[in-house]
Amino acid sequence: MSSRVVVLTGASSGIGRAAALAFAARGDMLVLAARGLADLEKVAVDCDGDVLVVPADVSVRTDVEKLAQAAVERFGRIDVWADTAAVMAYGRFEDLPPHVFDQVITTDLLGPANVARAALRVFRSQGHGTLILCSSLVGHITAPNMAAYSTAKWGLRALTRTLRQETRDAPDIHVCELIPGSVDTPIYTSAANYAGFVGRPPPPVDSADRMGAAIVRLADRPRPGLSVGATNRFIELGFSSMPPVYDALVGPLMSRLGLSRSQPAPPDDGNVFTSRPRTEGGRGRLGRTAVGAMAAGALALSATAAVALRRGLRRRVFTRR
């Protein structure tokens, strides 16, 4: 495959960094963007290729417009634009400061909207392009202490679906949604925290490299959505088919598996408003008790799902008779 011009927003760490390395290994030409210049430059060195570094905040529309312009001026086109930029905040909705909640929504929903607007403008002018927006499993379910992040990702899901509908007249323009489950990235430990304990990805946890490879797959063979996570489908089934059971279990499981009870955290805005230096990884260690709790919760959900499905099938049979 000939080299593509790939713009990556959120490229300084986590999934964005992994995607940058994966595209670089393919020989693609890269435009890397994020808020933190120092970390971006480190990623550019690791990519070891034709790389343009542009500091930009996706929540600032003019930054994104200048990024698109810089990419086209340097390489003449944009073939793929993948946006993984995101921030997170832990805490009950009533405990989150309103300005923190608002900024998470701005970065995680209005940021991708800024990216989509700039990317589609270029794609329309050149007649082709692939836009990949990084959603989350939490954009298909909900969990306590993650109201801001989940609200933004649900909105992003709606935006992505709408964009696919609106680009049906352009068969060479593709809008894709990546749906990661738990991923070992710094987003958890760098998040704003008003929950009292450091956040961590609940198991099973995938590597950022796996998600980076998934973004490359979407660029190679665009499809509407790609869910990557061993339990994603199962958790979505529990959320949609048996809300009372899901709601009863998700609180205790989130408290036990999504927060590190051994690491208290004072109230802090994290990196919601300003970039912080990248740290490797984001997950805390889980003991046997925590893994056992997850297994017990999964078993309860699967048993209830089986019963619910059987009842649903029986009702359909009797109704038809």
Whether the CB-CB separation of 232 and 179 falls below 8 Å is answered with yes
End-to-end CA, the chain: 56
As a whole number, mean pLDDT of residues 116-133 equals: 98
pLDDT given for residue 28 in this prediction: 97
pTM value > 0.75: yes
pLDDT, tens digit, 9 for 90 and up, residues 78-103: 999 999 999 999 999 999 999 999 99
**SS in 3 state form for 256-279?**
HHCEEEEEECCCECCCCCCCCCCC
Q: Which parts of 36-79 are beta strand (E)?
A: 51-55
Whether the CB-CB separation of 232 and 137 falls below 8 Å is answered with yes
Which residue bears the tokens 């109230």?
267
Average pLDDT over the chain, rounded to whole?
90
Q: Could you tell me the two tokens for 217?
A: 């797959």
Q: Which parts of the chain are beta strand (E)?
A: 5-9, 29-34, 51-55, 80-83, 89-90, 129-134, 173-180, 182-184, 192-193, 197-199, 205-207, 225-228, 259-264
Catalytic residue among 90, 149, 188, 194: 149
pLDDT given for residue 278 in this prediction: 63
Cα 204 from Cα 202, distance rounded (Å): 6
Whether the CB-CB separation of 204 and 297 falls below 8 Å is answered with no
Whether the CB-CB separation of 208 and 14 falls below 8 Å is answered with yes
pLDDT given for residue 304 in this prediction: 53
Whether the CB-CB separation of 156 and 233 falls below 8 Å is answered with no
pLDDT given for residue 310 in this prediction: 52
Phi, psi of 253 (to 5 degrees): -70, -40
As a whole number, mean pLDDT of residues 41-58 equals: 96
Whether residue 52 is predicted with pLDDT greater than 90 in this model: the reply is: yes
Residue partners of 97: CB distance under 8 A and separation at least 6:
194, 269
Residue partners of 165: CB distance under 8 A and separation at least 6:
none
- % of the chain surpassing 70 pLDDT: 86
Q: Could you tell me the two tokens for 136?
A: 């989350």
Residue partners of 280: CB distance under 8 A and separation at least 6:
186
Of the CA atoms within 13 Å of residue 280, those in its CB half-sphere come to 2
Of the CA atoms within 13 Å of residue 80, those in its CB half-sphere come to 24
Q: What domain range includes position 120?
A: 5-320
Phi, psi of 181 (to 5 degrees): -90, -135
Q: What length does the chain have?
A: 321
CATH code of residue 132: 3.40.50.720
Cα 259 from Cα 195, distance rounded (Å): 8
CA 141 to chain centroid:
13
**How many domains does one find in the chain?**
1
pLDDT given for residue 276 in this prediction: 85
246 is catalytic: no
pLDDT given for residue 293 in this prediction: 45
